[in-house]
Structure 1
């Protein structure tokens, strides 16, 4: 009888440890710290080349300031996730005027084609100084990106002259799996190559250890969390640096009650004129998404 009791206790302990390990390994709620790296000089150089190719004098003028800007700029972001939603926002400590100025110079960031996981995929999409006018939402410290994973929708909060919350349906991304793996923030991740419906090339590293189909910059559609995201064409990279699991749902207090709510298409009609045209057939929605999402 005593042996049976001991055996039962041992089984219960082992089962409890198994559940605890499983929860830690397959946590579906938590916070991920991301570094968003913008390769500033590469972006300015590409913008200048694009302008020169179109006969715009401003292209050469931009090159005069190239030596005065850093090679890259890094933003610290917090990514909150649960089974149904995600929120990506800047860390509170980044709200200084100096940092916002640096972001203006770099905006809308670009990833180094030679950076971690990235490779060159052609020219970066060009943009003018107007892009730097778009500031963020929470505490005037950067835009906030929200995903409703169940409804397949997104909200983008930003601050121009006043705050807006833009609603949009999440566009599908076509992913192709590879047999390349790498460790990011202590988690084994698999590389996939993707393309948006506007043919923007993406490189993502995801892990099924976090069973939430989401990632930074509204990325989604994989059987796990995206911990590394590279947009070579725009010289932007996102890399997870730390993962903390929790039982809490994503915060809901990021929304500013005074924000104007509108659809992204409506926003395009109002502010599309501020977005430089990169190609004659490029839509206002595409240009604005490029600025706001990535």
Structure 2
């Protein structure tokens, strides 16, 4: 009888261990991810206006001494199901955030649809008084995966680095517990979902604050965005050429607008 009890306890322990291991190894194939996009407004002002002229320097000094927040945080949602994702703004009221109106006016509230199977994306971008629907292939990013890890929104993530748009240094943290190879904005291409993203030299970060699998995401709701009547459909290259022609004499501010618009 004693041996029977021992074997029974061992069997129960093995069952509990197996069940716990299965739960820990759970992969999410669909869900919603809440991202907080943080922009260091003061750092951008210093970099783009602080040394251009006396007026710019005074503006930066006044902002630094004011009670206005030095950083602004906006909320986005990334819905995903299998190999389709839809990234949409949740809070984009620039009037609530001092100095953010200019930054948001340069594609700060993008809606981005990604189809990883076809390697295509569709991005709705509002750039000042114009609206563009950018349909193109996914950006090809040469990621270098490192051994560094960190926890983000309850998921163990691994770090990867890359350079995009020839000069912008990117740090990403992805989890292979969410197999979808997506991420915020147009950042994709890692062996799992990107839950953390930073452009250190551009003073912007995107980090997941919540991941939820309930309620389930209906794949029928993951569709490309539609622009308004005056929205122009364009490729990424054509948008670059259009902006470069208009902003080539704008100095640092022109470069900032180009960067935000083409991410």
| 1:86/1:147 contact within 8 Å kept | yes
**Partners of 1:269 and 1:162 in 2: how far apart?**
15
After TM superposition, the score normalised by the length of structure 2 is: 0.77
Residue 48 of structure 1: CA displacement? 2.5
Task: Tell me what 2:261 maps to.
Answer: 292
**Partners of 1:40 and 1:156 in 2: how far apart?**
24
**Deviation digits for residues 78-120 of structure 1 (CA, Å, limit 9, x no counterpart):** 01112232111111xx254623765225x2xxxxxxxxxxxxx
**Partners of 1:270 and 1:247 in 2: how far apart?**
37
| 2:113/2:225 contact within 8 Å kept | no
Corresponding residue SS for 1:183:
strand
**Deviation digits for residues 208-263 of structure 1 (CA, Å, limit 9, x no counterpart):** 00001111121111100000001011100000011112252253274235332122
Equivalent residue pairs, number: 239
Residue 33 of structure 1: CA displacement? 0.2
Q: Which moved more, 1:197-206 or 1:267-276?
A: 267-276
Task: Tell me what 2:218 maps to.
Answer: 248
Determine if the alignment matches structure 1 residue 218 to structure 2 residue 219. Answer: no
| 1:152/1:170 contact within 8 Å kept | yes
| 2:173/2:196 contact within 8 Å kept | yes
Determine if the alignment matches structure 1 residue 196 to structure 2 residue 193. Answer: no
**Deviation digits for residues 148-184 of structure 1 (CA, Å, limit 9, x no counterpart):** 2122222221234343211232222122222211110
CA RMSD of aligned residues (A): 3.2
**Partners of 1:214 and 1:253 in 2: how far apart?**
15
- Structure 1 pair 214–177 and aligned structure 2 pair: CA distance change class (3 A): same
**Deviation digits for residues 111-154 of structure 1 (CA, Å, limit 9, x no counterpart):** xxxxxxxxxxxxxxxxxxxxx53366xxxxx2212222122222
Corresponding residue SS for 1:267:
helix
5+ residue gaps, structure 1: 1-12, 108-131, 137-141
**Partners of 2:32 and 2:195 in 1: how far apart?**
12
Partner residue of 1:65 out of 58, 62, 65: 62
Task: Tell me what 2:6 maps to.
Answer: none
Determine if the alignment matches structure 1 residue 145 to structure 2 residue 112. Answer: yes
After TM superposition, the score normalised by the length of structure 1 is: 0.70
